Amino acid sequence: MLMTTSLDCLNLASMGSERTDEELMLAYAGGDMIAFETLYRRHRGTLYRFLLRSLRQRADADELFQETWSRAVAARERYRPEAKFSTWLLQIAHNLVIDRFRRSRPHASAEETDLLFSRLDAPESEQPDRVLSEFEQRRRLQLALEELPEEQRVTFLLRMENGLGLEELSEVTGAGRETVKSRLRYALARVRARFES
């Protein structure tokens, strides 16, 4: 019943689907609740998955999901259409995730990363050459994501889940372009290592 109500709400929100995210956000800031429902329908899934895979705990993801939207609602009058809405929303979510990481866990050491790259350079004879099943591929990717250092994981997820390019990644994370590329390289190496272990 509750699900039905929520979906009805989202179906109603689809009426404004032809408008861009930025137009919808401006309309919501002007008092258009339907515009917000449309916007929410567009971004709820990707945002939730980004948070869930970044934080790995559903309770944490739920909490930060709610907090992200709450901050977007509170900042609606300060929103300017010059900023892409998805980037702006992910910026809020990313900052919350980083704050959560800083309070809970230390960063991965540089030695670990070096070890991963050395394993990537291993000869083919030492690599597993068996074809992994699709299920095994998904499981290994999932494990690899969970094992990634936080900043690398977040950057990698922003690319995989939200499709952000280098410029947008740099804008959302607040890191330089080269730093973003470096994080992606390290993340790729770790994921490959998990696949080939």
Closest to another protein by CB, 95 vs 117, is: 117
Q: How far is the CB of 27 from another protein (least distance, A)?
A: 11
Closest to another protein by CB, 108 vs 191, is: 191
- Paired tokens of 2: 């509750």
Closest to another protein by CB, 150 vs 161, is: 161
Instruction: State the SS3 of the chain.
Output: CHHHHHHHHHHHHHHHCCCCHHHHHHHHHCCCHHHHHHHHHHHHHHHHHHHHHHHCCHHHHHHHHHHHHHHHHHCCCCCCCCCCHHHHHHHHHHHHHHHHHHHHCCCCCHHHHHHHHHHHCCCHHHCCCCCCCHHHHHHHHHHHHHHCCHHHHHHHHHHHCCCCCHHHHHHHHCCCHHHHHHHHHHHHHHHHHHHCC
Closest to another protein by CB, 84 vs 192, is: 192
Q: How far is the CB of 60 from another protein (least distance, A)?
A: 13
Q: How far is the CB of 107 from another protein (least distance, A)?
A: 21
Q: How far is the CB of 174 from another protein (least distance, A)?
A: 19
> What's at 65, amino acid-wise?
F
Q: How far is the CB of 156 from another protein (least distance, A)?
A: 8
Point out which residues bind another protein (CB under 8 A): 2-3, 5-6, 9-10, 28, 31, 33, 36-37, 40, 44-45, 48-49, 52, 62, 65-66, 69-70, 73-74, 76, 120-125, 127, 134, 137-138, 141-142, 159-161, 163, 165-166, 181, 184-185, 188-189, 191-192
Closest to another protein by CB, 76 vs 84, is: 76
